Structure 1
Amino acid sequence: MKRKQKFLMAAFVLTLSLLLAACGGDKNADNGKQSGENDGGKKDYGIKFLTIASGGTGGTYYPLGGTFATLIGDATGIEANSITSNASAENMASIQKEDVEVAFTQTDIATYATEGTNMFEEKIDNVQGLGTLYPETIQIVALKGSGIETVADLKGKTVSVGEAGSGTRANAEQILEMYDMSVEDVKARNLSFDDSSTGLQDGTIDAAFITAGTPTGAVEGLSATKDVIIVPLDNDKIEALIEKYPYYAKETIPEGTYGADHEVETVAVQAMLVVRSDLTEDLVYDMTKAIFENTDKIGHAKGELIKTENALNGMGIDIHPGAQKYFDEKGVKAE
């Protein structure tokens, strides 16, 4: 009888030990999982899909958008994709409607959106900056032999001033203003970059305003078959424009661009990425890191201009805490 009791007691102790070991193993397994991770070992950012609003296929946003989607997807495990759009102003509206999570825009358009001015009837209050990227050059494109050599020559001509409500349209209005003109002084057409290129090629328009990083795909395509010129801005007009609208900066288009044999003086705003303010700090931090630490993987020429140390310059709107955390770690300050 005593032997049986000893046997039962030993069995009980052994069973209890196994149970405690199993519990301890489960606890250690849980502790081995990083905070915020899901069962797949990836962080749980609260979303599984992410959409980047870029621009038209003839601009610079479109190819960059595809690259950024790949970089973000590889870094986070989120299914990221880039979609075409009418660019800056439409992208800000898409952020407001929560149709997209990330968007390209111009710094001037981002400012208008958060202030509820210009083409925005109300403030967009759910957007924050991720980082500025590179200069968006205002290019007034015409064909050689068109008789258009100065901005003043645009008067009475058929001119694409950008799509309705676009950043390009706002740039055209402000530059024409410096020359005591308005869009009513030209035969204005609201065309995309690709349609502007086609219009110049077939002669249905005389000139086009195009705001994009140079070289711009649509203009490069045109210059392959036609001799193009970029109409320069006069220095005094550039100074007056910057004084009234401080988000502009003087910009020089290098010799050789589109086959030109000389430099062209014009102005630029900054391209930037914005995000919805409800995205988590972890997600935006990892997105920012993925982009700015992999610029060597950007095939477009503008990749050389996208630098961490410049990413806060000219932003003009509040930065997302996740992006701010990354730039703080890098010691980046706005100039």
Structure 2
Amino acid sequence: MKKTLAILVVIIMVAGLIAGCGGGDAKKEQAKPAAQKFINIATGGTAGTYFPLGGAMAEIINKNVPGANASAQSTGASVANVNMLKDGKVDLALIQNDIAYYASTGTEMFKDKKVENFKGIATLYPETIQIVALEKSGIKTIADLKGKRVAVGARGSGTEANARQILEQYGITYNDIKVQYLSFGEAASGLKDGNVDVAFVTAGFPTAAIQDIAVQNKVVLVPIEAAKADSLIKKYPFYTKIKIPANTYQGAAEADAVAVQAMLVVADKMSADNVYAITKAIYSNLDRIKAAHAVGAKITKATAQNGMSVKLHPGAEKFFKEK
């Protein structure tokens, strides 16, 4: 009996060894996980628009791109994001298309500091240059800005460049106005307090700070005439035309305006296959983007090249050429 039991034990052990040798490599190969692609997405401040959009994009990529491990990180927004791309610290970034243009051409805040190692995926939604005054100021046209206290944005900011370029189309320089280099919040407070006559604000509309002013003060949106907008776009191709609807701010009339675009860019070292997969994943899941922030409703495949200010990445180009 003991001898028979011993023989059975030996047979079982040998069978196990044979099974291990025969199928081990195949099982090991099957269990091997796909190589992970770590994808860092630069966004903006946690209270802004870029951060929730970037978070939604990371979630979409993780669910739809095999092997992807994407994460969104809070940053100082457009200019900081370009520099992070330059230094290889992030793979994707949300930035304004005018900032992308300045970086790729070495102009404005990137003068003599050209950044060339990134390409476009898509433009997303408009960030409108709103020229805001109080009705009691009597300002109705940009020509009326001469001699007035004008908040043009923080020194060296994208808004300040927008203001200067628009004024240029009307033959107005900073010598013709009382320039005030104020941030977004400071400009809104200045209008409310009567320390500013007109303010340039680059943001999606309706803008909460302007809505707040309009509760107690009748505001006017100063329009940009079509011919001036055309000449502006001819010189600076990152601008697009847009209309600000009537009553966007209580009692304010419709106004013709121009906008820059929020856009998604990518480090040019990323492969075309990966960029194609990421682009397809995002544009196949726009409902998730819309759920992350109201501006998501403005992100469409049809408008994804409006105001594209840098060269498109081949992977994105492949996706957008598909029917």
Aligned counterpart, 2:55:
69
CA 1:217–1:84: 2 relative to 1, 3 Å: farther
Aligned counterpart, 2:65:
none
Structure 2 Cα separation of the partners of residues 204 and 284 of structure 1: 48
Residue type at the aligned position of 1:317 = V
Aligned counterpart, 2:92:
102
Aligned counterpart, 2:302:
309
Deviation at 1:82, TM superposition (A): 4.2
Aligned counterpart, 1:222:
213
Structure 1: runs of 5 or more not aligned: 37-43
Deviation at 1:237, TM superposition (A): 1.9
Mapped pair 1:251 → 2:250: no
Question: 2:123·2:263 contact (CA, 8 Å) conserved in 1?
Answer: yes
Residue type at the aligned position of 1:310 = T
- Secondary structure of the structure 1 residue equivalent to 2:109: coil
Bigger mean CA deviation after superposition, 289-298 or 158-167: 289-298
Matching of residues 154-165 of structure 1 within 5 Å:
154-165=145-156
> What TM-score, normalized to structure 2?
0.82
Bigger mean CA deviation after superposition, 171-180 or 200-209: 200-209
Match of 1:185 among 176, 185, 201: 176
Question: 2:61·2:282 contact (CA, 8 Å) conserved in 1?
Answer: no
Question: 1:45·1:283 contact (CA, 8 Å) conserved in 2?
Answer: no
Identical amino acids, percent of aligned pairs: 43
Deviation at 1:139, TM superposition (A): 0.9
Structure 2 Cα separation of the partners of residues 55 and 269 of structure 1: 19
Aligned counterpart, 1:194:
185
Structure 2: runs of 5 or more not aligned: 63-67
Matching of residues 31-42 of structure 1 within 5 Å:
31-33=30-32, 35-36=34-35
Aligned counterpart, 2:266:
275
> What TM-score, normalized to structure 1?
0.79
Bigger mean CA deviation after superposition, 243-252 or 280-289: 280-289
Aligned counterpart, 1:83:
74
- Secondary structure of the structure 2 residue equivalent to 1:125: coil
> 1:71-109 CA distances to partner (integer Å, 9 max, x unpaired)?
414642746334253x43343234324454433322232
Match of 1:45 among 37, 46, 66: 37
Aligned counterpart, 2:254:
263
Structure 2 Cα separation of the partners of residues 84 and 260 of structure 1: 36
Over the residues paired in the alignment, what is the CA RMSD in angstroms? 3.1
